[in-house]
Structure 1
Amino acid sequence: MGFAIFDIHYAIQCHAKSSSSLHIFGDPPADVRPRFRYWLPDASVNSDVVAADIKHTADIGAGGVELVPFFEYGGTLNPNPPVDWSTYNFGTAPFVDLFKTALKSHSEHGLVMDFAIGPNQGQGVPAEPDNEGLQWDMTPYTVAVPGSGRFGGKIPGWGSGNLVALVTALVKLNETITFETIGLAGIPVPVTYDRFVLDHKTLTEQTRRVDKHGNVSLRLPRARSGTHYRLFAFYERLAGAKNLAFRSSQHEDIFDDGSYTVDHFDARGAAVVKEFWEDHILTDEVAALLSKVGNYAWEDSLEMHFNVTWSRSLSERFQRLHGYSIKPYLPLLTFRQNTVVMQKDQPGTFECVLDTEDEGLSFVNDFRATLVAGYKEYLTAPSDWAHDLGVKFSAQPVYGSVMDMLSAIPSLDAPECESLSFSDNIDMYRAFSGPARLSGKRIVSNEMGAVRGSAYNYHLPSLLFSVNRAFIGGVNKMVLHGQAYSGAYPNTTWPGHTPFTYMFSDLFSPRLPTWEYGLRQTMDYIARGQAVLQSSVPKADVVIYHKDSATTIENIYQGEDLVKEGWSWNYLSADNLALEESRVRNGILAPDGPAWKAFIVESTQNLTIDAIKALDRFARDGLPVIFSGGTPGYYPTGRDTQKPKFDRDLAHLLRLRNVHTVATGSVARKLRELGLRPRVEAKTNGTCYTTWGEADQYSYAVVYSDLVSSTGSITVDSTEAPFILNPWTGDVSPVLVYTQSRSTTTIPINLAGNQTLFFAFSDKLAKDHLVPCYHVRDAPSHVLGTDVTENNKIALKVAHSERTSHAVLSTGRKVSLDTSCVPGRLQLSTWTLTAEHWEAPEDLYDSQHTVKYNTTHELTSPTSWTEIPALTNTSGVGYYNTTFTWPPKREHNARTARCSPANLDLRAYISFSRVIDTITVYVNDQQVPPLDLTNPVADIGPYLRRGVNTIRVTVPTTLWNYLRTIFNDLVSAGVSASRFGGPPPAGEAGLVGSVTLTPYRTIVV
């Protein structure tokens, strides 16, 4: 009876009428494809070269560039530029001309362009230094009050800015602490600071008692032995911080002074940017071009330096939001309240905490919430401005600063994270994408591929590792870090301008051997993955609560049960629960978006009062709420503790019918007890991450094998026709081996480590594809692949087995598979290697020419170039050649006497055990479709012929093994490559490992 149901179902598929929304999968359009972050050295460069570089991105499969006026990282790497940056500053006439050239080149080649809204990272623009929309800072000072309790005279720090507040407090305990941290240069740095424990009852604002000369006369109670009073003075001032700084001898206009960072916690900061663009860049022609090919106006992460993160409007905003003044509590903001990632070794010279249970954390939390509110106001302003230009706004929000990242994400058109700071962490990607998906953001972007110490030494499989982890975490747009300007630049040696002075990967350009040999296939892979992920609504099984007042990049969920049992998840902050999309319908949270089936709260988290209210509402509306490991903590806010109310509200919540408490690591078990199951359930011997999405005419599943191989199956919550989407070739083909129940489909899978599979489920795809009206329910492991014949039958590609095995069809028929006559695997071991050496010209400052010459080497097996004496320090392209006779001869014995290779129509798969960079395969001069670099296996059956066959393999290397030999002579924009230390060692290159042919015979069932 089950067979009949499956057969009828599949017969309906065979006659489906509608086409699929996957029509762009094979060749995604420009706006779907990945882009390069294009490092524009400055506006002095050759505009024809910029136009050609943009054309090259189209040739290589990118959708355009993200134009970043680099200016040597804002002058940080080189405050003495080799050209006059006053003349070529951001917004000058040469820059506007270059900007138009870039836009026109995108238009000519059918591309789209993202652009930074300022130089360097886009965090400011040239401006008058006294513009109050620029970045503000607050500086704290402190001094002890004599034991008598009397203080008379000038307060500490007077004259360093506008006085915000003077506060006195009794210090009950003080100590000096030293610790070691890792600075930005990557080396240990000692940090020493004073820690004061303050009597919370003695915090007193004394600002009104300070006269206009900074003098104050105070009489405080006499401190008992072991304690003392202190004065704390706080001053605000324009920080004078620049996102483009250089030494200039003239100061005639705003371009002579670089570019100032704007206030990011008030809309006035965005207004400075808008006014600059309107005054200096947005001609009618530029505006028209932007509306045609502009995509995202963009800003990088908040790499800003403060003593205390501040805005001039913060005190007033704080009072309005929280109903009390922040000023008496400013001593609590003196330590680690700046850009904590950029300033690990500059946390502050003293720290103050209160003698209360939470040590004053409630005031710190309110301060950080105020920063978030101001930052959201800032983000809204450039978003509105971008929309007026006909583009959208993207930025990297919050992380590295003392704010809740998840709270700010919904304020952007396209929130962007980065593989560097996120350390390729799937859990953090799921946290980042959660609020984006809840708020309906179609694009979640990623600054992809920056790796410290990998300039010219970045391998494409490493890029794929990062891309695949981002994909499975919910990221669907990659901006590759980055494309180097390929023209000549002053004081720069071969191989050309190198942003970040050889610190970070990678410098994509035609200078790299991989540019012509393999990069296109990788770009197409990313594009097709993005096409699937961008054209559907991503779903996840459950959502997990996470509230940080300052974002940390680390694993959040503490159990392993969810991933082991195939569940997918996202995270939401307490702030996200107030969004209008955060609603439950039919027991599902955000049903038109991520459609989470349950809400999980771990005991390690701290709940806000408002979060408890939201969870109460969710539970009453039918959403299961699961507390894991016990009850969570209290997230303190405000002057008056709400802990008693928190305890009452939480106790009431825990008594609701849809609220459950389980032990740590038992969430998955409770979900099953509630009758829930993952949308994509992976049962394998490895660790697989999954995701699910839905579009108008299809659903998709993505499966990723983490680090090591995984064999087993996936079960999806669908009975529509399954298809496999090959993002390396663009092929869409029916899955032919699977089983179905009344509500699910189970597909066997076998993934290599870091491999990703894309599946589509649609009864409508059959209109465009041959789909047999039956399928295979069970097949042995030596079935290497399947195909559909011209007469709509299923062909199994079956490798050697000593025993006769069987395949079971959905019709119930059992088919015998005899492959005892098929030869076993054979190694291709003898190769001729023609190594094309890429080297610098005799004039090292001739960055436009690469010297190339060939050497030939006979190899008994594929071997790294570092193991071949003549190639140890060589970079370039390897052309490998080998021959073999087909079909292979078998050892003759009684069992094989009946076997006739001619009658078997033998074919073969080729497989490579390892890929260091990328490989392109030719069989008898016919190019094999691109191989999945994470699982480099290809069916070469169509290209084989009887007799002698030739296989050619083209393998590019990085430039590193050669560059390291001249490393101390390399210079970019006048800065030595060895500025930050010597070169890393040489790495493997070329074709390595084993190359195997696996013969098979085709059996039609």
Structure 2
Amino acid sequence: MSFCVAADFLDNFRYPPTLFRPYVRWWWPHGAVENDEIRAEVIQMAEAGFGGVEIEDVHHSTSEGTEWHTDTNGWASEPWLDAVKVALTEANSRGMGHDFAFGPAWPMAVPTIVPDDEASAKEIVLGKSIINTTTTYNGSVPGPFSKRKDGVNEQKLVAVQAWRISQDSDPYGNPVYLDYGSMVDLTDTVADGKVAFSPPDNSSWLLFSAVIRGTGQQPEDYPHTIPTSYVVDHFSKAGAQAVIDFWEDQILTPEMLELIAQTPTSLFEDSQEMVSATYWTPNFADEFLSRRGYSVMDILPVITQYKNNAYLFLFNDSEVQRGSLHDYHETITDLYADYHIAPLRKWLNSRGMKYRAQPYGIAKLDSMRIATALDIPEGESLGFQVIDDYRVLAGANSFAGVNIMSSELGAYNKAAYATTWTKILGTVNPQFAAGLTHNVLHGFSYIYSPETTWPGWGAFTPYKGRIGYSESWGPRTPTWMHVPDFTAYMGRASFFTSQGIPKYDCAFFRQNGASDDHYVGPYFTSEGARIGWTTTYVDEYLLHLPSAVVTDRRLAPNAGNYSLLVVAEDPDGGQAQLTPASASKLRDLADAGLPMLFVGNWTSPGSLGLSEDNSTDVATEIEHLLSLSNVVNVADSSSIPTGLAKLGLTPAVTHSASPLIHIRREHGDFDLYFFTVNSSSTGVNQDVSLPIRHEYVAPLELDAWSGEISLVGQYTIMDGRLNIGISLESQQSKMLIVAPSSGDVVHVANSTADSIFRNCTTGQLFVRNGEAGDYTIVLSNGSQLTTSSKAPLPVLELSDWALEVDDWQPANENPSDDVEDIVATKLVHHSFNLTSLSPWSDIDGLQNVSGNATYSTKFVLGTAEAPYGSDAGAYMELDMFQGSFRARINGEALGTLDQMAHSFDVSKWLRNGTNALEIEAATSLINRMRAFQPQYYEQYARQKYGLKSVTIRPFSQVAV
């Protein structure tokens, strides 16, 4: 018997390459930085184990009116460029990657345009007047409802129309309903800014006007530059070209290009968050006509937003209304993809760089389509409120063959200086299971800017007079001492989840490909996920990609290899409706044998979109689909299990209902599994059934904290499936490889023992028990053994602790203007002798303390009559606490410990007799900040730092 996992795979897992380690978002206050400090901060991040930096120009915490001298040191100024060269030089010397934002803050902007220029962002703004039944209007064209912003001097009138108000609608209500098809075009009758209109009937009429103008939007928390930077048009070639021209002319010098080329570099586009009445571009009407087949003027009032992003006008025909908005949003996505993403990516790739972006922030943007057009699509833990938001991007990656999905990790509102690494892990582990492969930590602030106080400048805190967004990581925070443990874990997890091709069970169809609307489809990512179903979302665009073929009843066999396509009613309108193109594609897939499940009432489906260039009848297509034996329609989500039974489908991985979720990837002949518990309060201890692709396999467990890899000791193989136990705490993770083997690897198939342990070095199997007795072991070769376990040593609840605390405080109560004076930290030492453990918040003198601490105690294990020896072992059990930790026993470090675990096997560090235990703990900074700046931070509850209990739980151990 033999099995083999490639040595380079194992080495890269143990020592994850820079490419897979997390990057960190690095906030600069423009070019107001010192080169020596820039160099020092790169070193700090490198030594902490980060794989790269992303340079951002952000200063949201600084008061309005702060003098930045942006004429000399703004974004892209000479001081900024010099500092970038220093940063890249130091990063290159340490093998780190380096990314940049496209411009200052967000959205994308450059200082070479003004709002009236062709390349600047545009909006279309409505004006209105109500004409009563007996009134003739003769006067000025109604003006725009909103004032133009500073710098916007020009606006172009593009439409004046009259629309009949529906008989049952209140002309002065909100919304006002219009009769579709009643429009009278008055645009060509306007003279000297005036228009006349007499209603042709006794109805009330809407006089509607529309002007195009620049938005005048500047990037967030401006100013950043002189001249002023304005947001570019994201829907025209001119906007993208303005960005390209600026970078080519002002930033990408030969020296800069040489530095960029040495390690991986991307330009990053944050979520768009463009502010406008309604997104537009000067050529929109022509583009809409060519792409949708009819004039946008026929639907203009109902796609034009009024105040607070609301639609004031709607068509009385709801299907026409939905179709109008669908066609508008489809065109916006088309233009963003074709004229923004495509030219920028082509240019970046020609310069040896990649395009990373968050493909959302523009209302109803098809994130799935945009993600396929990027080198690196990215989500975020702040804006993505459910992990299904990540499953949208995962679907795009699956069909497009993109094997990296990034996330802006660790931004939490009102959590500055309060974020713990366990909070980060509880966020990122479920995201890994949803398809995530890479992270950019939010973030690392440059040490100083105007108004800085201890412990240094925070780009997002204080924010608008309150505690801001997390986090300003770095040496200013006590937990930074343990950061290498976390970056190594995330690097290993990223490497592992990047290998091979992800395989899923369910492709869940959505009409709207948005990733930021927090849609959760029925069953498959909730009740279904609890029994093993894995799901990504798909839309019409993905189903028309070359990978979307059906082979052996599987969709995209060379990609996600889905066994099922689910189509539910449109969540936006609660309607059973499809575009003609979607209906036609679904028919093709079903005719090829793909199992489908329709959810809802599909007896009279609607057609989505108003284009007349497609003669496909949606109802006819659905009628055909529902006649097929591989297509089942259920009335509602509660009937989905019944529908699955009719189709004869189960997930590839099965287990009893629990919060356990996973992702499965095929890497050649190997199957890789990332498991985690998607619950903040409940763990799991259960058997899981996995499919296998070979007669003989060997499951290996990979410890992403220590880098150790060990052969699993107990499992069963039966009927082409591997059954294995999974035991995890809340939000903890486990990684498994199922490797092919030339024969059976002898293992325990069944046992009455508490647990089976296999030594990762020797491969020896051991039986472990917490009570004395005889235990039966059945091996995979058919052998049956009985082992006798002696009574384990007594459980020890450890007491009599020495607690040494280094309390982090500002070094100077009244600092000078010197930066080092302002940010300096002093460590005030506290010593305690504790008979029992309590949170710091319950210990006099530690309530407002943040910092580092060492807990020390001694305990006796074994006696002359019952010594601790090779037939014994022990677990160390910790109650979870807020902070990070390391441990030493008898002066020897235990290695990197899983921060989400409660129990640790410490057998090999223990000895008979007296043992010394030290636990090194580190905290966030919030308790000190609550005392230092209560006006901002006291609103955040005091955290309960410190150990609550430590138990040594011995067991008996017998070699098999």
Q: Which category describes the TM-score, using the shorter chain as reference length? A: over 0.9
1:764-913 superposed matches below 5 A: 773-780=745-752, 782-783=754-755, 785-788=757-760, 790=762, 792-796=763-767, 798-843=768-813, 845=815, 846-887=821-862, 900-901=866-867, 905-913=871-879
* Aligned match of 2:113: 128
C-alpha contact (below 8 Å) 1:754/1:934 kept by paired residues: yes
After TM superposition, the structure 1 stretch with the greater mean CA deviation from structure 2, 33-42 or 583-592, is: 583-592
Question: Does the 8 A contact of 1:724 with 1:732 survive in 2?
Answer: yes
Q: Which residue does 2:126 correspond to in 1?
A: 140
Helix, strand or coil at the partner of 1:362: helix
Question: Structure 2: which amino acid aligns with 1:456?
Answer: Y
**In the alignment, is the contact (CA less than 8 A) between 1:711 and 1:749 conserved in 2?**
yes
d(CA) in 2 for partners of 1:176 and 1:432? Answer: 42
Q: 1:634 to 1:643 in 2, by over 3 A?
A: farther
Counterpart code for 2:128: T
Tell me if 1:416 matches 2:392. Answer: no
Task: Give the letter aligned to residue 355 of structure 2.
Answer: F
Q: CA deviation at 1:838?
A: 0.2
Query: Which residue does the alignment assign to 2:665?
Result: 693
* 1:54 is the counterpart of 2:42: yes
Counterparts of 1:586-601 in structure 2 under 5 Å? 586-601=552-567
Cα gap change, 1:107 to 1:273, in 2 (>3 Å) = same
Secondary structure at 2:252 match in 1? coil
Deviation digits for residues 589-644 of structure 1 (CA, Å, limit 9, x no counterpart): 11111111111112455422211111111112221112234428535211669899
Q: Which residue of structure 1 lines up, in the alignment, with residue 287 of structure 2?
A: 317
- Is the counterpart of residue 499 in structure 1 residue 454 in structure 2? no
Amino acid at match of 1:700: L
Quick check: 1:386 aligned with 2:348? yes
* Cα offsets for 1:337-372 (capped at 9, x unmatched): xxxxxxxx8224x61111214252211111111100
Q: Aligned equivalents of 1:903 and 1:135: distance in 2?
A: 74
Q: Which residue of the partner structure matches residue 928 of structure 1?
A: 894
Alpha-carbon separation, structure 2, partners of 1:20 and 1:742? 32
Contact 1:776 1:809 in 2 (8 A): yes
> SS where residue 358 of structure 1 aligns?
helix
The answer to which of 148-157 and 451-460 deviates more is 148-157
The alpha-carbon distance between structure 1 residues 843 and 357, as it changes in their structure 2 partners (threshold 3 A), is closer
Matches within 5 A, 1:206-285: 206-211=186-191, 213-224=192-203, 228-243=204-219, 246=222, 255-285=225-255
Change (3 A) 1:635 1:872: farther
For residues 367-410 of structure 1, the C-alpha deviation after alignment (integer angstroms, 9 at most, x for no partner) is 11110001112111111111011011011012452323223221
Q: 1:473 matched to which residue of 2?
A: 434
Equivalent in the alignment of 2:91: 106
Select which of 474, 495, 510 maps to 1:531. Answer: 495
Structure 1 position 903, deviation (Å): 6.2
* Alignment match, 2:401: 440
For residues 243 and 328 of structure 2, what CA distance do their matches in structure 1 show?
26
1:1000 aligns with 2:960: no
Please say if residues 106 and 220 of structure 2, whose CA atoms lie closer than 8 Å, have aligned partners that are also in contact. Answer: no
After the TM superposition, which residues 744-755 of structure 1 pair with which residues of structure 2 at under 5 Å, given as runs? 744-755=721-732
Q: What SS does structure 1 have at the residue aligned with 2:319?
A: coil
Structure 1 counterpart of 2:73, from 82, 88, 107? 88
Question: Is 2:293–2:611's contact at 8 Å kept on the other side of the alignment?
Answer: no
Contact 1:232 1:331 in 2 (8 A): yes
- Conserved 8 A contact 1:174-1:196: yes
Q: Secondary structure at the match of 1:750?
A: strand
- Give me the whole-angstrom Cα distance separating, in 2, the residues matched to 1:875 and 1:754: 25
Give the counterpart letter for 2:183 in structure 1. Answer: L
Cα 1:454/1:621, change in 2 over 3 Å: same
Q: CA deviation at 1:867?
A: 0.8
Secondary structure, aligned partner of 2:877? strand
Aligned to 2:711: 734
Matched, 1:620 2:607: no
The 3-state SS of whatever aligns with 2:845 is: helix
Q: 1:623 to 1:147 in 2, by over 3 A?
A: closer
Structure 1 CA distance for aligned equivalents of residues 221 and 747 of structure 2: 66
Please say if residues 967 and 983 of structure 1, whose CA atoms lie closer than 8 Å, have aligned partners that are also in contact: no
- Using the alignment, how far apart are the partners of 2:302 and 2:611 within structure 1? 13
CA distance in 1, matches of 2:940, 2:90: 38
Q: Deviations over 1:229-249 (max 9, x none)?
A: 12111111111111166569x
- In structure 1, distance between residues paired with 2:621 and 2:334: 26
Selected match of 1:711 from 685, 699, 705: 685
Partner residue of 2:148? none
**Percent of pairs with identical residues:** 26
For residues 170-213 of structure 1, give each alpha carbon's deviation from its aligned partner in whole angstroms, at most 9, with x where no partner exists.
22355599xxxxxxxxxxxxxxx8321112232222211112x2
Q: Tell me, in whole angstroms, the C-alpha distance in 2 between the residues paired with 1:121 and 1:817.
A: 66
Q: Distance in 2 between matches of 1:803 and 1:905?
A: 14
Change (3 A) 1:316 1:114: same
Q: Which amino acid aligns with 1:621?
A: A
2-side partners of 1:414 and 1:205: how far apart? Answer: 45
TM-score, normalised to structure 2, is: 0.92
Aligned to 2:619: 647
Distance of 1:640 and 1:690 partners within structure 2: 44
Question: Could you tell me how far apart the structure 1 residues matched to 2:221 and 2:471 are?
Answer: 25
1:786 Cα deviation after fit:
3.0
- CA shift in 2, pair 1:419/1:400, >3 Å: farther
What per-residue deviation string (whole Å, max 9, x for no partner) do you get for residues 795-817 of structure 1?
33x13214422222112222323
- Structure 2's unaligned 5+ residue stretches are 145-152, 463-467, 572-576, 816-820
Q: SS at the partner of 2:31?
A: coil
Q: CA deviation at 1:840?
A: 0.8
User: Structure 1 pair 669/824, CA: closer, same or farther in 2 (3 Å)?
Assistant: farther
Match in the other structure for 1:990? 946
Distance 2:753 2:28 in 1: 52
Cα distance in structure 2, aligned partners of 1:511 and 1:472: 32
Name stretches of at least 5 consecutive residues in structure 1 with no aligned partner.
1-10, 178-192, 249-254, 337-344, 890-898, 969-976
Question: What's 1:251 paired with?
Answer: none
Structure 1 residue 666: deviation in Å?
Answer: 4.5
Q: Which amino acid aligns with 2:629?
A: R
Give the Cα–Cα distance (whole angstroms) in 2 for the partners of residues 607 and 199 of structure 1.
23
CA 1:547–1:946 in structure 2 vs 1: closer, same or farther (change >3 Å)? same
Q: Does 1:171 align with 2:165?
A: yes
Residue of structure 2 equivalent to 1:347: 309
8 A Cα contact 1:832 1:859, kept in partner: yes
2:259 & 2:275 partners in 1: Cα distance?
35
Is 2:37 the counterpart of 1:65?
no
Secondary structure of 1:475 counterpart: coil
Q: Which amino acid aligns with 1:495?
A: P
Cα displacement (A) at 1:902: 5.3
> Are positions 1:543 and 2:507 aligned together?
yes
Q: Deviations over 1:670-694 (max 9, x none)?
A: 546545443322336x321121001
Aligned-residue CA RMSD (Å): 2.5
Letter in 2 for 1:754: Q
Do the aligned residues in 2 keep the contact of 1:32 with 1:63 (CA within 8 Å)? yes
5 Å matches for 1:934-953? 934-953=900-919
Equivalent position amino acid for 1:831 in 2 = W
The aligned length equals: 925
- Code of the residue aligned with 1:728 in structure 2: it is W
- Quote the offset at 1:709 in angstroms: 1.0
TM (norm. structure 1) is 0.88
In the aligned structure 2, how far is the partner of 1:216 from the partner of 1:400? 34
Amino acid in structure 2 at the alignment position of 1:168:
A
- Distance between the aligned counterparts of 2:771 and 2:570, measured in 1? 53
**Residue 661 of structure 1: CA displacement?**
2.3
Tell me the amino acid that sits aligned with residue 775 of structure 2. S
Q: 2:509 is matched by which residue type in structure 1? A: Y
Counterpart-to-counterpart distance in 2, 1:85 and 1:780 = 72
